A = this chain, B = another copy of it.
């Protein structure tokens, strides 16, 4: 089953709740399994430059079917695949993007979060992603 808009909004709501707990306003994007935008919310006070980063983290998670930070093992200095973060029109190799799968394991979307430190972004993304489990 593809993600519905209601599903996507539930993902965003849970991510927002966790952001409120942290006290850090976030940009939160949800895309479908092909990487096309489904829903987005910029929380009051979230950094403008993080809009694009949230969108790109979601894209990164779709393109590699993996949390965005996993890309770092490949593209980091000394890693086997330097400059991979500059492919595909730009990728983000740190935390905040999480792929979403249905009960059959099919990739149905991703959440991308940006606005805090990467560790915070990743925490909020996982809180949002948990809504689809």
Q: Which residues of A contact B (CB under 8 A)?
A: 4-5, 8-9, 32-44, 47-49, 51-53, 56, 60, 62-65, 72, 76-77, 80-94, 117-119
Contacts and interface: CB of A to CB of B under 8 A. Distances in A.
Contact of A40 (B37, B44, B56, B87): B37
B34 A87 contact: no
Given A76-B82, A82-B94, A83-B85, 16 more contacts: A4-B44, A5-B43, A34-B36, A37-B40, A39-B41, A39-B42, A47-B63, A49-B64, A49-B88, A52-B89, A53-B84, A81-B118, A82-B93, A83-B90, A86-B90, A87-B92
**Total copies of the chain:** 4
B84 A86 contact: no
A82 B57 CA distance: 13
Given A39-B42, A41-B9, A42-B38, A118 B64 contact: no
Given A39-B40, A40-B40, A52-B87, A72 B63 contact: no
A111 to B, nearest CB: 14
